[in-house]
Structure 1
């Protein structure tokens, strides 16, 4: 809606994971490098964790692009609310195994044959599981057993990437999963951005959208966006997208703290120090009541 107004080629703060807009912060570069290294080195199990919205799925999308460019076979499980039967069915579908997809035995035989064939050709095969913290215990056990598929000469035949929220780490600490935990050789963690990273993140996305020298977000606004988003990239995107929409509705080329207050109120955001900061703006007993506003600037559009 606001792209033409600001001169963007595309939306700079789209909430959908898009590798083209990947901001290569040091931690994201390290995580992606570890994922690729783990796959090529046949490390077996790799775990990627991070809070909601820190960019795990974007990392996996970048990894998918890399695997496709290298013609590496992989299965990507994006829905982890599955039972064991559905788990094997999804693997068989993604890897195009020539077998009865609903038969665990046939899937395992066909998978083993594919893995050996790929390994003999100098290639590996990858299983990627997103939202792995939601996996049932019995599905996690099946994944552990898949990690046993190996060859003395060829090493680990299947490289397994588990991505999830910090709950995944706590789940892997459970006594009944200690065998799986021992097999994890690489761990990557994505943390929220610091202020410098958040600033470069916003500027980077604006550059890629067609605004190389942005004047829309001042240092003060970006500092507040970082505080109120607590450095979470997905929240930064949501706040900045709403700020641009608000500025567009008001026909302004720059955003302000007042716009940010309105956006955060509409988004029901909470952040450290919010209540303390808001006390000074509460009306006193002798202050005149402020007339209610029934329609925000963005709701006009």
Structure 2
């Protein structure tokens, strides 16, 4: 929407991970170095953990995009709330292995035959497991069993696990000792500090070929850091919204006043909220019956209705802004068409 106004060739703060926009903080660079080290070793597990939105998937995509080794055949799993049998089926599917039946023994045999064939071709398999905190402990154990596939004392498959902080608890369980002994490196991602937030935003703007200097005021980055707590995904959501706001309001510079206004708008929305859980206003503890004639519950219902009213009002305001945007866009297109017609008549 705002790309042409700010001279971008594309939206710089999209949510979908894109290796071209990868920004390596010291933590991200360390994690990426561990992944690369794991590749060089060709064995064991690498584990990368971090809070939601800190860039684990982006690191995985960046690694896959820059492998530069035709002898590594990689597959990535993103749906990981799986039983051991479902995990094996998905591994076979992602590596495009033909399986005769859904029998676990047959699937394991097909996977082993595939890995041996790769080895004879001078290749090896790499499995990246994203959102690994969703894996049940017995499924993590199945991954360990896959790592037992060897030929001439060399492992035939290597696995990287990326997940939220809950993954630490799964791996730390007493019955996971054998798995822990096969972890050759691990890293934990952290949110960005204020300087990294500034560099992160400027990096993504440059990647989108921003042609405006000082798009954000000097003190804007500190405030963006405070609003997003340095979480890259929140930064993407927030700055994308700031740029849309700046376009609608025809701002050349995003000031602290604009940041505060957008943050206030987003604080009552159902999606893209920066602080807290947007559903908290509707958490009514359904395990306890509601006594309608209770003065406390009546007051609670009133509060909920007020929340709903605020959300509806915000939604209407957004619709108005969108209408303004469409009207502005139509005017721009009409002007461009008129200019084109004039040039054609002159020629």
TM-score normalised by length of structure 1: 0.86
Residues 300, 101 of structure 1: CA spacing in aligned structure 2 closer, same or farther, 3 A cutoff?
Answer: farther
Unaligned stretches of 5+ residues in structure 2: 268-273, 277-309, 323-347
Of structures 1 and 2, the one scoring higher in RCO (CA 8 A, sep 6+) is 1
Secondary structure in 1 matching 2:252 = coil
Alignment of 1:161-240 (within 5 A): 161-211=160-210, 214-240=213-239
Q: How big is each residue's C-alpha offset from its partner over 1:237-285, in whole Å with a ceiling of 9 and x where there is no partner?
A: 11110100111111111112222122222332339xxxxxxxxxxxxxx
Residues 101, 27 of structure 1: CA spacing in aligned structure 2 closer, same or farther, 3 A cutoff?
Answer: farther
Q: Distance in 1 between matches of 2:30 and 2:8?
A: 30
Q: Distance in 2 between matches of 1:14 and 1:299?
A: 23
Q: Distance in 2 between matches of 1:77 and 1:27?
A: 23
Q: Do the aligned residues in 2 keep the contact of 1:40 with 1:124 (CA within 8 Å)?
A: no
2:28 matches 1:23: no
2:101 matches 1:80: no
Give the total of aligned pairs: 280
Quote the offset at 1:85 in angstroms.
2.5
Alignment of 1:31-50 (within 5 A): 31-50=31-50
Unaligned stretches of 5+ residues in structure 1: 272-291
Quote the offset at 1:223 in angstroms.
0.9
Q: How big is each residue's C-alpha offset from its partner over 1:71-94, in whole Å with a ceiling of 9 and x where there is no partner?
A: 521221111122222211111111
Partner of 1:95: 95
Alignment of 1:48-197 (within 5 A): 48-67=48-67, 70-100=70-100, 102-151=102-151, 153-197=152-196
CA RMSD of aligned residues (A): 2.1
Partner of 1:246: 245
Q: Distance in 1 between matches of 2:96 and 2:36?
A: 23
Residues 246, 112 of structure 1: CA spacing in aligned structure 2 closer, same or farther, 3 A cutoff?
Answer: same
- Which of these two proteins has the greater Rg computed from alpha carbons? 2
Quote the offset at 1:212 in angstroms.
5.7
Secondary structure in 2 matching 1:185 = strand
Partner of 1:270: 275
TM-score normalised by length of structure 2: 0.75
Q: Do the aligned residues in 2 keep the contact of 1:92 with 1:101 (CA within 8 Å)?
A: no
Q: Distance in 1 between matches of 2:33 and 2:155?
A: 19
